[in-house]
């Protein structure tokens, strides 16, 4: 249990990586400039919402180095840090000029209440879904603040650029979930579930299948003669094949956020 919690804390501390670690020197400055460069019809300002460019993340797209990926949280006005909701605006911008090339809004992606938004990062793994469709991901982290009952979750959105549009290729998919119950000293249990994505063979028509593999590690800790002992039990618990229906990948409820 203690080792599992240390892993969780390390993951949480590294969830919101600094822009320079993502090959973008200043995400906030890049976001501010990109919004200045945008045309009037590109992500117009909305009454009742405020962009938080201090929370922006950006990363050069290795598969298309002339383009950079940028994501910015947009919060609905009136909430506070303990209870608020909002969207994420995602842009593909020119690496040199920072001018927007494609954009979209992930409506309702942010929700902070008992479980709150804890950062995001861009995923530039090579999701080659067809000869002319290359996707990228946005991963959002959420967690609670409970000591005896910690919970965290990572959600993945897949997006693909087509002209000036960014298409959401799937509803959010949970790629990691950690939850535990312990006495804050030693005794307790936890479940750490991770899911990995692989791209299937590209079809003659449409987009390739996505193969999701799931693994769970159940941990148990207990006191034994004044020492805290723990035991991990890893199990491969599932394999899912996601198919594109012409509009989105169908994601079963079991893979979606709570």
For residue 181, what pLDDT is reported? 96
Residue 2 in this model has a pLDDT that exceeds 70: no
Q: Do 67 and 96 contact (CB within 8 A), yes or no?
A: no
For residue 16, what pLDDT is reported? 38
Query: 153, 9, 16: which is closest to 73 by C-alpha?
Result: 16
User: What is residue 207's three-state secondary structure?
Assistant: coil
Query: 219, 170, 224: which is closest to 193 by C-alpha?
Result: 219
The C-alpha atoms of residue 201 and residue 214 are separated, in whole angstroms, by 20
User: What is residue 135's three-state secondary structure?
Assistant: strand
Mean pLDDT of the chain: 90
Instruction: Indicate the helix (H) or strand (E) that contains 152.
Output: strand 151-162
For residue 257, what pLDDT is reported? 92
User: What is residue 107's three-state secondary structure?
Assistant: strand
For residue 1, what pLDDT is reported? 55
pLDDT tens-digit series, residues 178-211? 999 999 999 999 999 999 999 998 778 899 999 9
Residue whose structure tokens are 């938080």: 52
| Average pLDDT for 4-18 | 40
């Amino acid at each position: 249990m203690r080792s599992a919690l240390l892993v969780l804390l390390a993951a949480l501390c590294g969830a919101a990586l600094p822009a320079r670690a993502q090959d973008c020197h200043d995400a906030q400055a890049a976001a501010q400039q990109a919004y200045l460069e945008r045309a009037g019809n590109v992500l117009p300002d909305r009454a009742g919402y405020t962009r938080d460019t201090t929370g922006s993340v950006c990363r050069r797209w290795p598969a298309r180095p002339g383009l950079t990926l940028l994501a910015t949280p947009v919060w609905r006005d009136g909430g506070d840090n303990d209870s608020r909701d909002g969207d994420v605006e995602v842009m593909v911008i020119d690496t040199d000029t920072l001018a927007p090339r494609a954009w979209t809004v992930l409506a309702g992606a942010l929700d902070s209440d008992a479980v709150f938004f804890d950062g995001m990062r861009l995923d530039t793994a090579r999701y080659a879904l067809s000869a002319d469709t290359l996707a990228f991901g946005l991963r959002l982290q959420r967690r609670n603040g409970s000591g005896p009952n910690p919970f965290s979750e990572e959600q993945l959105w897949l997006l693909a650029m087509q002209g000036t549009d960014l298409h959401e290729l799937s509803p959010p998919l949970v790629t990691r979930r950690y939850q535990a119950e312990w006495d804050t000293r030693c005794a307790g249990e936890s479940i750490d579930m991770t899911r990995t994505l692989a791209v299937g063979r590209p079809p003659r028509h449409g987009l390739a299948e996505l193969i999701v593999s799931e693994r769970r590690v159940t941990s148990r800790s207990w006191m034994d003669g004044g020492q805290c002992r723990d035991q991990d039990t890893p199990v491969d618990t599932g394999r899912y094949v996601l198919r594109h229906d012409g509009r989105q990948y169908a994601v079963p409820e079991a893979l979606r956020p709570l």
